[in-house]
């Protein structure tokens, strides 16, 4: 009973912390689509290049819900992470540096019945955050345009997994996706001081259910080697959000009172906000509980996603999105997980990843293209509150990450990110009953 009281207390803590999920990007590319998408890898997986599909260990892994049966009936896992990111944006000779960060995720995992595991928590889905301006001269008319955006979408998930036969686990997540993003654009004619200025505001609000189905099969190769193969399917989400749009004109020298203003609200088929079907396949190979090596491949079918033209992004259904291929690979090494020496129980992790962008962007020449994203990760786990004889060890996980976004066309911004994240994965015997002596 004491364990369940702690569980309820922790759930209350999660509900309290949900509002602190916020903007964690400064990318001008977040102007398009749903902004910058967040990887669903957390904690350990994040440091291993972002692999999730074949990861099966005593750590939270919402990236594949089939992994929830990896915990035994006495174990409760609580995993929470925060991050700091320094970003560098460059376009020609212009360079800008920004800092960002905050709460990344909260995830919990435990057994609810024989051969059945559960997990729930909150994960970031996407973020919008940018502020930039352009100056253009066409046909002798000079204009200044300013663009700003903010907001995010988060997902609260609940997942179950079941092990119908030995070494085979199946599971599913149901997630409630919620949040809103805001976009503003202002334009003034600098070559004609008496000309009116224009202002546009768009707000996208979305509340939707999202589903993930996962499977994992572990094949013992010999006494020391285990091969785990995992797959995840996320069906397409067909839904509509709500779009609020304001268009205003202001007289020259007066930015307080609009001359004209038009307010509109779009719902239903005028505010399509679909999410793509996702297919993932991966594996991990574990050697004597000391070395784990794995890789993932993911495909997202964005070409069939509907997105409202009323968001005013300047793109069309045919040019807005790209189908995505993402590749992740990583490893983890520990000298001896059962040794009492602190250094020998430390976990060392690393990985690399690559993907193309799901969004297209438009440069000042009107050319439409996407970008390539490359990343590298390195991290280590520091053991705390360990119980050597049981194999249960809580860790402080420190991850370092580098990402580079390289546009396919000229006159677009190149982005580089240098990040550090710290996670606490608590592995406790919460459900063990005390015995009277």
Portion of the chain with pLDDT greater than 70, in percent: 89
CB 299 within 8 A of CB 325: yes
Work out whether strand 368-369 and strand 371-387 pair parallel, antiparallel, or are unpaired. Answer: unpaired
pLDDT score recorded for residue 433: 53
Q: Which residues, including other chains, have CB under 8 Å from residue 50's CB and lie 6 or more apart?
A: 39, 41, 296, 328, 330, 351, 353, 375, 377
Integer Cα distance of 130 and 91 in angstroms: 15
Q: What pLDDT does residue 24 have? A: 67
Assess if residue 214 is contained within a domain. Answer: yes
Cα distance between residue 86 and residue 400, in whole Å:
12
Given this model, what pLDDT does residue 75 score? 80
CB 292 within 8 A of CB 284: yes
Structural domain includes residue 427: no
Main-chain phi, psi angles of 21, to 5 degrees: -65, 125
Confidence class for position 400, pLDDT limits 50, 70, 90: very high
- Does position 409 have pLDDT exceeding 90, yes or no? no
Q: Work out the pLDDT band at 390, boundaries 50, 70, 90.
A: low
pLDDT in tens, 147-178: 999 999 999 999 999 999 999 999 999 999 99
The DSSP secondary-structure symbol of 391 reads T
Nearest alpha-carbon partner for 424 in 157, 67, 82, 70 = 82
Beta bridge partners of 136: 143
Return the H-helix or E-strand segment holding 45: helix 43-47
Structure-token pair, residue 376: 């590298």
pLDDT score of 6: 52
Is position 413 within any domain? no
Q: What is the mean pLDDT of residues 122-126?
A: 92
- Domain limits at 143? 2-85+99-323
Whether 316 is covered by a domain: the verdict is: yes
Higher-pLDDT residue of 413 and 338 is: 413
d(CA 370, CA 358): 8
State how far Cα 164 lies from the chain centre.
31
| Mean pLDDT of the 114-134 span | 90
pLDDT band at 3 (very low <50, low <70, confident <90, very high): very low
Q: Where are the beta strands (DSSP E) in 388-413?
A: 392-407
Q: Give the chain's domain count.
A: 1
Alpha-carbon 190 to chain mean position? 40
Give the closest residue to 149 by CA, choosing from 171, 131, 122, 172: 131
| DSSP-based three-state secondary structure for 255 | coil
For residue 172, the model assigns a pLDDT of 97
pLDDT in the model for residue 387 = 53
Q: Provide the pLDDT for residue 5.
A: 47
Q: Is residue 273 part of a domain?
A: yes
Q: Tell me, what CATH number does 179's domain have? A: 2.40.160.60
Indicate if the pLDDT at residue 230 is higher than 90: yes
Q: Is 405 helix (H, G, I), strand (E, B) or coil?
A: strand
The β-bridge relationship of strands 242-250 and 277-287 is unpaired
Least confident of 4-18, 122-136, 361-375, 391-405: 4-18
Q: How far apart are CA 74 and CA 338, in angstroms?
A: 19
Give the number of other CB atoms < 10 A from CB of residue 109: 28
Mean pLDDT of all residues in 251-276: 86
Q: How far apart are CA 35 and CA 28, in angstroms?
A: 9
Residue 150 lies inside a defined structural domain of this protein: yes
Residue 77 lies in a domain: yes
> Is 215 a domain residue?
yes
């Amino acid at each position: 009973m004491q364990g369940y009281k702690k569980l309820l207390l922790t759930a209350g803590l999660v509900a309290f912390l949900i509002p602190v999920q916020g903007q964690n990007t400064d990318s001008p590319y977040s102007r398009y689509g749903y902004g910058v998408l967040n990887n669903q890898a957390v904690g350990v997986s994040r440091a291993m290049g972002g692999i999730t599909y074949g990861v099966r260990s005593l750590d939270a892994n919402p990236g594949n819900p089939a992994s929830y049966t990896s915990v035994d009936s006495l174990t409760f896992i609580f995993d929470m992470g925060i991050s700091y990111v320094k970003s560098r944006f460059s376009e020609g000779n212009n360079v800008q540096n920004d800092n960002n960060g905050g709460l990344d995720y909260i995830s919990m995992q435990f057994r609810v019945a024989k051969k059945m595991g559960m997990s729930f928590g909150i994960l970031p889905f996407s973020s919008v955050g940018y502020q930039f301006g352009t100056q253009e001269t066409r046909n002798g008319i000079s204009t200044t345009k300013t663009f700003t955006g903010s907001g995010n979408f988060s997902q609260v998930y609940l997942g179950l997994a079941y092990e119908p036969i030995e070494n085979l686990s199946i599971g599913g997540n149901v997630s409630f996706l919620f949040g809103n993003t805001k976009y503003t654009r202002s334009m003034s004619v600098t070559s004609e001081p008496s000309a009116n200025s224009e202002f546009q505001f768009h707000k996208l609000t979305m509340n939707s259910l999202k589903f993930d189905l996962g499977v994992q099969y572990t094949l013992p190769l010999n006494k020391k080697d285990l091969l785990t193969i995992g797959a995840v399917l996320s069906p397409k989400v067909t839904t509509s959000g709500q779009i609020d749009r304001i268009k205003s004109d202001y007289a020259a020298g007066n930015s307080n009172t609009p001359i004209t203003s038009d307010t509109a609200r779009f719902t239903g088929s005028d505010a399509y906000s679909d999410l793509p079907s996702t297919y993932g396949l991966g594996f991990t190979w574990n050697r004597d509980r000391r070395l784990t090596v794995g890789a993932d491949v993911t495909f997202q079918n964005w070409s069939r996603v509907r997105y409202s033209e009323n968001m005013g992004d300047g793109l069309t259904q045919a040019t807005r999105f790209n189908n995505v291929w993402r590749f992740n690979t990583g490893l983890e090494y520990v000298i001896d997980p059962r040794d009492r020496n602190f250094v020998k129980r430390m976990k060392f992790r690393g990985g690399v990843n690559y993907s193309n962008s799901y969004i297209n962007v438009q440069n000042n020449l009107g050319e439409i293209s996407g970008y390539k994203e490359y990343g590298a990760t390195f991290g280590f786990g520091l053991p705390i509150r360990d119980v050597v004889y049981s194999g249960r060890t809580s860790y402080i996980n420190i991850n370092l990450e580098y990402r580079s976004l390289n546009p396919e066309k000229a006159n677009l911004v190149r982005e580089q990110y240098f990040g550090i994240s710290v996670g606490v994965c608590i592995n406790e015997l919460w459900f063990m009953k005390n015995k009277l002596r």
